[in-house]
């Protein structure tokens, strides 16, 4: 039997979890009750449409715009929007930036997001193993070029610092040893094609080159290892990995300063029940609905934009329409272009979203949305939202 879920709690749940919704959708969730509503939101993600481009391999800026708008369009139309907000979380965690990933195409990033969607709710171990073999990641953090003679440390360092343990739980020597373990983990074009003869829709795939690999023994976090698989196993077994992720997920879904007890409990749930189990635990937790945690997060630009477009009834963003172009420019001005986090640590978020320049861009979007001439349903978008003028209130920025 589901516990009751008030309309106001349903509104909060829908905004937080999916970043989009209507009054009708909130009413449906409320009628289901808490557990059922949460399970409904956390259903298996609907796949995104396939992506293929007519642009060439070197026309990357055009591809970047296409996949950015296609993703937002998918977030606006999918029956499982909660999965897309989670994809955004993983994108900010397992970062890769289009601009900085030479050679990678739109299709490679599109495939990476499909992997985030497929594995994002599952156990962290399976997910991490897939990320370590993800062509975009191997190219972005230069492991694709790492050879035994001179291992490239970029991937190994960020794997430890940003993706699993966090600073303070490893040494410089651990980074060197991990870098050696991952030598030979590289990419090739599907079918062994040469980039010069392949069109932009031929993706990269993982391949292991034994000749580039350093097979000698290594000591990683006090354990003897040889290859990258074993490094990953050590990290997957490490309790700090789950503490680090639990805190980060709670900062994304609960509060900028989550209570320590919840970080600890969340780490245990994450480890034993995977990310979906963690989210189910959190969204059915009393604390999640406590007044001190409601409206305590600041919407990121993508969340703001998706929520606003959805409230305005906009579901399509053709890449060459003026709306599509305007949306892409607005994201740049608000400091969040998809597939392009500013640094390998992702988006800082919080109050930085409302520095003068990005805040101004949000306000200027109101006029663009008003000019679409559709009716606005701001019930889920913001607490107390009724009419266009409410969008200038501080409450419009809260998640």
- Nearest distance from C-beta of residue 333 to other proteins, angstroms: 7
CA dist list (Å): 9 to 37, 362, 372: 11, 26, 30
Q: Which of residues 255-314 bind other proteins (CB under 8 A)?
A: 292, 295-298
Compute the distance between CA of residue 346 and CA of residue 336 in angstroms, rounded to an integer.
Answer: 10
Contact call for residue 150 and other proteins (CB under 8 A): yes
Asked if 348 touches other proteins (CB under 8 A), the answer is yes
351 in contact with other proteins (CB under 8 A): yes
Q: What crossing angle do the helices spanning 228-237 and 172-181 adopt, rounded to 10°?
A: 130
Quote the CA–CA distance of 380 and 293 in Å, as a whole number.
Answer: 17
Residue 161 interacts with other proteins (CB under 8 A): yes or no: yes
Does 341 bind other proteins (CB under 8 A)? Our answer is no
* 11-19, 64-72, 88-96, 149-157 -> range binding other proteins (CB under 8 A): 149-157
240 binds other proteins (CB under 8 A): no
Smallest gap from Cβ 354 to other proteins, in A, equals 4
- SS3 per-residue string spanning 27-96: HHHHHHCHHHHHHHHCCCCCCCCCCCCCCCCCCHHHHHHHHHHHHHHHHHHCCCHHHHHHHHHHHHHCCC
Residue 110 or 204 with smaller CB distance to other proteins: 204
- CB nearer to other proteins: give 34 or 331: 331
Q: Which is nearer to other proteins, 47 or 350 (CB)?
A: 350
Separation between Cα atoms, residue 218 and residue 11, nearest integer Å: 52
- Angle (CA) 392-396-399 rounded to 5° is 165
Closer Cβ to other proteins, 260 or 356, answer by number: 356
Nearer to other proteins, 12 or 280 (CB): 12
Label residue 209 exposed, middle or buried (CB < 10 Å: 0-12, 13-18, 19+): middle
CB of 111 to other proteins, least distance (A): 22
CA distance 201 to 55: 9
395 binds other proteins (CB under 8 A): yes
Q: Does 85 participate in binding other proteins (rule CB under 8 A)?
A: no
Residues 6+ apart with CB under 8 A from 62: 53, 55
**Range in contact with other proteins (rule: CB under 8 A) among 223-231, 244-252, 262-270, 340-348:** 340-348
Residues 6+ apart with CB under 8 A from 343: 95
Site residues, other proteins (CB under 8 A): 100, 102, 141-142, 145-147, 149-154, 157, 161, 167, 172, 176, 292, 295-298, 333, 335, 342-345, 348, 351-360, 363-364, 366-367, 370, 388-389, 391-395, 397-398
């Amino acid at each position: 039997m589901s516990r009751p879920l008030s309309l106001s709690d349903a509104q909060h749940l829908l905004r937080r979890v999916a970043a989009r919704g209507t009054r009708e959708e909130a009413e449906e969730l409320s009628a289901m009750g808490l557990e059922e509503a949460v399970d409904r939101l956390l259903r298996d993600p609907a796949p995104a449409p396939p992506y293929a481009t007519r642009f060439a391999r070197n026309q990357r800026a055009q591809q970047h715009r296409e996949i950015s708008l296609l993703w937002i369009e998918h977030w606006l139309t999918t029956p499982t929007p909660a999965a897309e907000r989670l994809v955004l979380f993983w994108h900010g965690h397992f970062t890769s930036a289009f601009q900085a990933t030479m050679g990678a195409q739109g299709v490679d990033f599109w495939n990476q997001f499909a992997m985030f969607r497929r594995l994002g709710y599952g156990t962290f171990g399976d997910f991490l193993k897939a990320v370590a073999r993800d062509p975009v990641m191997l190219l972005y953090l230069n492991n694709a070029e790492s050879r035994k003679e001179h291992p490239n440390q970029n991937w190994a360092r960020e794997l430890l610092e940003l993706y699993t343990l966090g600073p303070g739980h490893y040494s410089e020597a651990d980074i060197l040893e991990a870098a050696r373990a991952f030598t030979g983990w590289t990419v090739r074009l599907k079918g062994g094609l040469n980039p010069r003869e392949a069109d932009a829709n031929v993706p990269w795939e993982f391949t292991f080159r034994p000749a580039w690999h350093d097979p000698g023994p290594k000591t990683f976090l006090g354990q003897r290892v040889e290859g990258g698989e074993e490094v990953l196993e050590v990290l997957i077994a490490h309790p700090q990995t789950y503490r680090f992720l639990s805190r980060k997920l709670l900062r994304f879904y609960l509060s900028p300063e989550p209570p320590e007890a919840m970080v600890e409990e969340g780490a245990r749930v994450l480890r034993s029940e995977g990310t979906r189990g963690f989210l189910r635990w959190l969204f059915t937790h009393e604390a999640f609905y406590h007044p001190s945690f409601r409206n305590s997060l600041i919407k990121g630009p993508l969340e703001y934009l998706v929520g606003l477009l959805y409230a305005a009834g906009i579901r399509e963003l053709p890449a060459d329409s003026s709306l599509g172009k305007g949306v892409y420019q607005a994201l740049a001005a608000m400091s969040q272009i998809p597939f392009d986090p500013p640094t390998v640590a992702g988006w800082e978020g919080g109050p930085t979203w409302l520095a003068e320049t990005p805040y101004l861009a949000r306000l200027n979007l109101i006029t663009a949305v008003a000019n679409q001439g559709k009716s606005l349903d701001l019930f889920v978008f913001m607490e107390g939202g009724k009419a266009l003028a409410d969008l200038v209130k501080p409450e419009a920025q809260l998640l």
